Structure formats: structure tokens, C-alpha cells
Structure 1
Amino acid sequence: MKTPEWLENPWRQNPWFESVAVAQERARKRLPAPVYSALLAGSERGQSRDDNQSAFAELGLAPHVVGQQPERDQVTTVFGQQVSSPVLVSPTGVQAVHPDGEVAVARAAAARGTIMGLSNFASKAVEEVCETGATTFFQMYWTGDRDTMIQRMQRAHDAGVQGLIATLDWSFSIGRDWGSPEIPEKVDLKTMIRMAPDVVTRPRWLADFARQYRDTGRLPDLTAPNLAPPGGEAPTFFGAYYEWMTTPPPSWEDVSWMREQWAQISGTPFVLKGVSRVDDALRAVDAGVAGISVSNHGGNNLDGTPAAIRMVHPISSHVGHQVDVVMDGGIRRGSDVIKALALGAKAVLIGRAYLWGLAANGQQGVENVLDLLTGGVDSALRGLALSSVAELGPEHLLIPGDFHRELGVPVASTATH
């Protein structure tokens, strides 16, 4: 066996990390302060962001002392796709924490046999990401006119995506009590000079992008290539935000239209992300979605919304028998995944966790994070004496009486649940 490079040079930091918390700390040390601050996100006081994580600590596990299973299976099927574990990659935009961005993440997802979510605000084109071989679901906001949205859906289908995720809960609440990071509109000489004090203190991060410039002759573009019109230039991220801000918000009829258009173009699953209320989940089922993601946008949206994990069981108990229910928000360890599945989720989506891995060590860092989570799932299954994630249920948890947040339950539905 070849000796790892870091063992041959003990002064070099071991690229492997043993927890998502360590990945976060390495990302903090590696990234310029404004870039790292953008990953923390969280609107206003950060109440929802913090509750996304702390709520998991309120749930306990009920282990067995004897009867552990020698083999434990994490394979599951979600949105029509068989995945090696119930940990999926959530779409996130502006992945400038590493020059390979979404391509590195997609390669990691393909290597670990899971679904890659790609934002239409991504820094890499959908064609480039699909070329990695990852099972890719393309995420769209409700931006632009209908002809533009159809064009973007068609492009994603032609590139080879295997599902569409509509994210409609975004309100772009950027005000943060601790201040919002500066995101430049473009990278030019003037911007580089202004931001130099933050960048020069992170030489390894700077070296990664310097190598990209050496190889390609280009600095990273802060643009959204997946929003480029046919034959036209990609807008800057601020241009993309302006398009979203000037597009009238969608109605439920618009959701049905979007789902119908995607069915005609592709016929692959249509998923609605950002659901936090039972009545919205029921309307989503009526609109014909194949799945929903219970989410508060990572706490980077409307502050004061409950943690996503608090809303999983109420929603899954109403619609989980009709559509696949997943959740995202606050997943940091394998036991968090176990708790979400026990409350009715088919899988979880991770965001900040893999971005920290990407910042810390590129593709290998993302794989490291996925391995940590699936390793934690395996340990929890062993402790619970289960042989499969399919066996998980509320009976495997200790749930406080006031834990769940059941929002928007129709009166007629209350009598039967």
C-alpha cells in the first residue's frame, strides 16, 4: 500500500477530517473572511439557522444492548432514483470556495452514488456538471418570463439532468444582525485591489485560483452560466437577482404549469423545495409533484420559521404515502440523518456541510463529508439493532412532547390525524 503523502511529510496537514465540525473549521481558516461569512448565511438574528441544528439535540435515540445486525443497508430509492445512501447533495449557488466548484461536488456525488442538486445560480454550466456522470437534478427559481423558463428547462433536459427541483420559498432576506459579507459583481483589477487585504491572508485559497488562471488564463467569473440566453452572455449574480426580483411571484397555478411543462419536456420527477406547512404540502400533491423538500432555506430566508426537522413528521404523516418527502437544514452528522428518516423523511439534503468539505479539500473533501455522514448512519443503525434505513420509525427516537411544529393543518384533516 502506498504511504499517504501527508504521512511522508508529517508537517503537512492531514487532508482527511474526522467530523463536519473539523471541515467547517478548516474552511474558516482557508477562506477569505467574506467568502466564509457567505457560507454561514442566516437572515436577521439567525434564529432559524441556529434552530435547524439545535433541534436535533432535543431528539434522543433508543438503542439495544444486544441484537445488533452484522450487515446494515443504506440503499434507498428517492425521486425514482436508487441511491447508495439517503444523503443527497442540495443545490447551492456561488460555489466560489474552490475553483472546481460544482464540478468537484458532482464528481464526489457520482463517486458516492448519490444525487447531485445543481442550482441555476451555479457557477458551472449544467452541461459541464452532467458530463461528470452524476445523477443530476436541476434546480430552478421562478425567474424570467415563461418562454425563458421553458428554454432553461429544455437546456437542462438536453444536458442530461434526471429531475427538476423548483425552489419557491426564497424571499432574499439579506439583513443580518452581524453584517452581510461583500460579494463583488465581477472580478477585475479594481475589485482585486480592494479585497486584497482579505485575500492575501489566505495564501492556499489564493494559490488554488492562481493555478486555475495559469491553466486557463481566466479569473473566476461571478456569473450564472445556466441563466445565459441562447447565444448570449451569462448574467452576473446581481443581474440574476434583479431578474428574480422583477419577476412576479408564482401562484399554485404557476406551479402546476411548471410541473406540466417539465413533464412534456422530460417526464422525469418534479420536486418542490421549501415546504414548511401541511396545507402547502397538500396543494403540492394536488399540483402533481413527485416529491417535496421540507425546508426553511437553511435559515437564510424568513427568520423565525421553525427548524426543518420539527416540521418533517407533521408533513410526512399527511403526504408521505403519496409523494417522497425529504428534508434539508442542519444536517451535520449521521445521527441527524437517522432522526430525519425516523420521522418520515426518505432522505436528507445537505448544503453547508459539503461546501465546507469543498473548501477544505475539493472533491476529496466533499467525499470525506459524505463518508462521515454515511459512516454515522451505519453506527446508529448498529446501535439501534436495525439492518436497514427502511426499518426506521418514530419508535426509535425519544421525542419531547412539544417538539413538532404542525403548521397549516386544514380543519378537516385535523379530525383524522
Structure 2
Amino acid sequence: MLLMKIENPWKQNPWFESVAVAQERARRRLPKPVYGALVAGSERGQSIADNQAAFTELGMAPHVVGATAERSQSTTVFGQQINSPVIISPTGVQAVHPDGEVAVARAAAARGTIMGLSNFASKSVEEVVATGATTFFQMYWTGDRDTMIQRMQRAHEAGSKGLIATLDWSFSMGRDWGSPEIPEKVDLKTMVRMAPQVATKVRWGMRFLKARNIPDLTAPNLAPPGGAAPTFFGAYYEWMTTPAPTWEDVAWMRETWSQISGGAPFVLKGVCRIDDALRAVDAGVAGISVSNHGGNNIDGTPAAIRMVRPIAEAVGSQIDVVMDGGVRRGSDVVKAVALGAKAVLIGRAYLWGLAANGQAGVENVIDVINGGIDSAMRGLAVSSLTELTPEHLLVPAGFDRALGADPARHLVG
């Protein structure tokens, strides 16, 4: 008797061909508050919109002949050799999938790139480093100096290869479309209250049930020695009530990390101005990320890609300059590198992949972006990232934003 396998026509192919498709699958699978937390920016959303729109203003200048048979995306950033210029940006509390940051780290290890781990993460630095991923631990300026030293020591002892200090969020949280509800903790009372929002997203809930887990809204990397991890809001309160750092504090943080780690790289994330980039060099950083915190800093901050070239021209010969904000495809990466970035960090893009298909979804996102990089490099007839220059692009007059360069002149053509 011949048995025929009948495919379920309603079963969705887990592979997706673009980050946009990953986002749509994430939207369909996630409860509305969870998805809303991923896509939201501050206030009217001007900066988050510009992060993506700015890339559309940049054109390409391809060749019709001359594509090389072999092309390499490998590069060295912050002392680490990586397979492509796409780095995992640290993002907090990845409750879109029960494996959270561990799944993302495994994907980063599989694709040979750096894993940025937030100190607001739902998984511990020890669990993440154990995946084999090259991990850079990210810290905010929170707590007193003794507390920060303890957290740096823990990250180093776990095996972190670098430290990322994020200093750019100014708590500009009002959103014209409303802020998604994030509970203090997920207990039975919370689950009952939020059940109507979760009930329509059965597959998301089933993932956590199968893993015998519930979304973890604590921050284990902020737990004191021998103590319990604070809730997300407890960690957030510590951050908001810690006095803002000075440039002397940044230099102290960099020097302290260097002493603890034996000279591992220290990266400053959130730089928008040339004068701040120059001060970062003076503080001894190994690199900076040009960023507006994914549109969650002061609304009206220019798109990160608009600020890359002026900052790279000012300090790129001294430190590594990367950028994050609005990267959705390989051509975006090529544009950033052509303007002077050594690499880009992705955030929302891989979270959508994680929501869509776990570790495989994150790998899928990285593969899609890397495929786009290769396609653009082929069209531009370059064989390595180092060959990319602004001459490969069509950059309109007034595109760049040179903040902090000259009080009388904030635009360069």
C-alpha cells in the first residue's frame, strides 16, 4: 500500500526572506503589549521614523561590469574578528521567547559575531557566555561605584570579552500612541488580569508552557552577591535615581574595567555629537556606537546614519566607530560602512526573528542581512568591506548631521 504524506497547507514555512516578514510574524504571534514594547519610540516617534527613512535617502552607484568572484564580509571590530559587520545589540528582558538571550547568543556564536548582553537581560551573563558566543556585557551608569565594580567583576569572571557602557537614554518615555503595559512581575494575578490579551496568542503562550517557564521580568545580572535579582522596574528605578555620570566618571569606568579585565575593550554607546566623540577618545575608549537608542532617546535626535560620517571623519582613525538604529537589510549595512562605520548593531530585527522562530529565527535574520550585504558588494564591484567609500553612494546635500562640530553650523553637505 502506497502511503502519501499530505502537507498541511496551513502550516507556515518557518523560514522568512526578509526582516519585514519576520516583523509581521512577530506581530501576529506576540501579545499586543509585548509587540508594542518592541516597536515603540519616544514621544511622537520622529527619531525612530527617521532612523529608517534616512536610509532611503541614500542611493547606490553600481557597476555593470567588474563584480568579483569572491567577496569577504569579515572584519575586526573592538579587537574581535567577526564573519560579517553585523553585531547583536544589547536589549533588555527578551520575553518574546522562553530561551531569550540564550537563543540569541547561540545564533551569534553560530554566525561568528559578537553578542551584546544587556544588564537588564532576562538570562544571566554566565548562561549566555556558556553558549560559546563572544559576549560583550552592557552596563548603564546605575548604583554606586562599589556596585558597578561588582558587576564588572562578575562579567569578567563569567568570560565577557568587552564592556559596553550605554549612557544615552534620557528617560523621554511619553508616547503619543500610549505606552504598552509592562507588569512589575508575572504571577497568577497578573496572568489572570492580562489573559484576554494573551488568549489570542496561543502559540506564544504554549512556547513558555512547553519550556515550563513564564516570561521572566527580573534582571539576574543586577542581583547582589547572594541576593535576589531585582524586578525590571526595581532595576529601572536604580538607574533613574543614580546621578548622571560626568566625563571623569566615564574615564573611571573605562580604567576600572581595564584593570579588572586586563585591558579588554570598553565601548561607549549612544554618541551623537562630534565633541562627545572626541571626549570619548580622551577617556580612552576602544570604540563608540553612534546611536539615538533606537528612537528612545530625546525625540528629534537625528537618525544615527546621518551622524556616522561626521563622527567617523573626526575619530575613526583613532577608535572603532559603529552605529545602530534602523538597520533592516544588507544594503543598510553597506551604506553605513561606506560612510565610515566598521560595523552595525541590530536590535529590533533580531528580536523579531527570535519571536518568529527562536534561535533559528535569529540566524535567519542574520543570514538575510548578510545575503543583502553580499548582493550590494557584488553590484558595487568590491571584494571587501575596506573598499567601500562614500563614492559608492549617492548622498544628497545636507544629509549628514555634524552635531557638536561648530555651534554656527550643524549641517554638512
What TM-score comes out, normalization by structure 1 length?
A: 0.95
Asked if the contact 1:279–1:410 (Cα under 8 Å) also holds between the matched residues in 2, the reply is no
Task: Give 2:110's aligned residue.
Answer: 111
Alpha-carbon distance in 1 for matches of 2:215, 2:95: 8
Q: Is the 8 Å Cα contact of residues 166 and 273 (structure 1) preserved in structure 2?
A: yes
State the partner residue of 2:216: 221
Which residue matches 1:74?
73
Q: Which residue of 2 aligns with 1:283?
A: 279
Distance 2:336 2:404 in 1: 21
User: How many angstroms apart in 2 are the aligned matches of 1:161 and 1:338?
Assistant: 28
Could you tell me the TM-score, scaled by structure 2's length? 0.96
**Is the contact made by 1:60 and 1:398 (CA closer than 8 Å) also made in structure 2?**
yes
In the TM superposition, what whole-angstrom CA distance separates every residue of 1:99-138 from its partner, at most 9, and x where no partner exists? 0000000000000000000000000000000000000000
Paired residue secondary structure (1:139): strand
Alignment of 1:99 with 2:109, yes or no, is no
Aligned position for 1:259: 254
RMSD: 1.6
CA distance in structure 2 between the partners assigned to 1:244 and 1:233 by the alignment: 17
Q: Aligned pairs, how many?
A: 406
1:187-266 pair list within 5 angstroms? 187-213=186-212, 218-266=213-261
Q: CA deviation at 1:380?
A: 0.2
- Distance across 1 between alignment mates of 2:62 and 2:214: 52
Contact 1:91–1:116 (CA under 8 A) maintained in structure 2: yes
Name 2:340's counterpart in structure 1.
344
Distance in 1, Cα, partners of 2:175 & 2:379:
40
Q: Percent identity?
A: 80
- Shift of residue 221, structure 1, vs aligned partner: 2.5
C-alpha distance in 2 between matches for 1:263 and 1:8? 57
Quick one: structure 1 residues 412 and 195, their matched pair in 2 at CA, closer, same or farther if it must change by over 3 Å?
closer
Aligned to 2:54: 55
Question: Residues 253 and 383 (structure 1 numbering): CA distance in 2 closer, same or farther, change over 3 Å?
Answer: same
1:375 aligns with 2:371: yes
What is the Cα deviation at residue 321 of structure 1?
A: 0.0
In the other structure, the counterpart of 2:397 is 401
Q: Answer yes or no: is the 8 Å Cα contact 1:92–1:351 preserved in 2.
A: yes
> 1:412–1:31: structure 2 CA closer, same or farther, 3 Å change rule?
closer
Structure 1: where are the runs of 5+ without partners?
1-5
- Equivalent residue in structure 1 for 2:304, among 282, 305, 308: 308
TM alignment of 1:157-176, pairs within 5 A: 157-176=156-175
- What's the counterpart of residue 295 of structure 1? 291
Question: Runs of 4+ in structure 1 displaced over 6 angstroms?
Answer: 411-414
What secondary structure, in the 3-state scheme, does the structure 1 residue paired with 2:323 have?
A: strand
Deviates more, 1:8-17 or 1:282-291: 8-17
Q: Which amino acid aligns with 2:301?
A: T
User: In structure 2, how many angstroms separate the alpha carbons of the residues matched to 1:312 and 1:8?
Assistant: 49
Q: Where do 1:110-189 residues align within 5 Å?
A: 110-189=109-188
Do 2:170 and 2:298's aligned partners in 1 also have CA atoms closer than 8 Å? Answer: yes
Q: Distance in 1 between matches of 2:178 and 2:409?
A: 42
CA 1:62/1:146 → structure 2, altered by over 3 Å: closer, same or farther?
same
Task: State how 1:317-336 maps to structure 2 within 5 Å.
Answer: 317-336=313-332
Partner amino acid, structure 1, of 2:21: V
- Say which SS state the counterpart of residue 115 (structure 2) adopts: strand
SS at match of 2:400: coil
8 Å CA contact 1:171, 1:302 repeated in 2: yes
Residue identity opposite 2:367 in structure 1: D
SS in 2 for 1:53: helix
Q: CA deviation at 1:220?
A: 3.2
The alignment partner of 2:90 has SS state of coil
